[in-house]
Amino acid sequence: SGPEEELKLTQNTQPALLTVSTIAYHLLGVEPLVAAGHSLGEYSALVAAGSLSFEDAVVLVHKRGRYMQEAVPVGKGMMVAVIGLEYEKVWEVISQITTGVVEVANWNSREQIVISGERQAVEEAVERLKAPRAVTLPVSAPFHCSLMTPAEEKLALDLEKTEFKDLKFPVITNVDAEPVTRGSEAREALKKQVTRTVLWYKSMDKLREMSIQTVVEVGAGKVLSGLMKRIARGWDNSPTVLQVGDPASLEKAQQVLSG
Residue 220 has pLDDT above 80, yes or no: yes
Residues 130 and 154 in one domain: no
Distance CA(190)–CA(149), nearest Å, equals 13
Single residue among 85, 115, 139 that ends a domain in this structure: 139
Single residue among 89, 122, 139 that ends a domain in this structure: 139
Residue 148 has pLDDT above 90, yes or no: yes
pTM for this structure?
0.94
- Residues of the chain above pLDDT 70, percent: 97
Distance CA(28)–CA(173), nearest Å, equals 22
pLDDT digits (tens, 9 = 90+) for 18-32: 999 999 999 999 999
Give residue 56's domain range: 4-71+147-258
Residues 32 and 82 in one domain: no
Of 1-5, 120-124, 203-207, the poorest mean pLDDT is in 1-5
- Out of 21, 38, 62, 144, which one is annotated catalytic? 144
Residues 170 and 52 in one domain: yes
Tell me the one-letter amino acid at 88.
Answer: E
Q: How far is CA 16 from CA 24, 74, 137, in A?
A: 12, 22, 19
pLDDT digits (tens, 9 = 90+) for 111-139: 999 999 999 999 999 999 999 999 999 98
Q: What is the reported pLDDT for 2?
A: 64
Instruction: List alpha helices for 149-222, DSSP H.
Output: 149-160, 183-193, 200-209
Residues 153 and 53 in one domain: yes
Residues 122 and 243 in one domain: no
Residues 109 and 158 in one domain: no
> For the domain that residue 212 is a member of, what is the CATH number?
3.40.366.10
pLDDT digits (tens, 9 = 90+) for 45-93: 999 999 999 999 999 999 999 999 999 998 899 999 999 999 999 999 9
> For the domain that residue 106 is a member of, what is the CATH number?
3.30.70.250
CA atoms within 13 A on the CB side of 55: 2
144 catalytically annotated: yes
Single residue among 88, 111, 139 that ends a domain in this structure: 139
pLDDT digits (tens, 9 = 90+) for 35-52: 999 999 999 999 999 999
Length of the chain: 259
Look at residue 102 and give its three-state secondary structure: strand
Element (H, E) at 93: helix 87-94
- Out of 39, 44, 51, 109, which one is annotated catalytic? 39
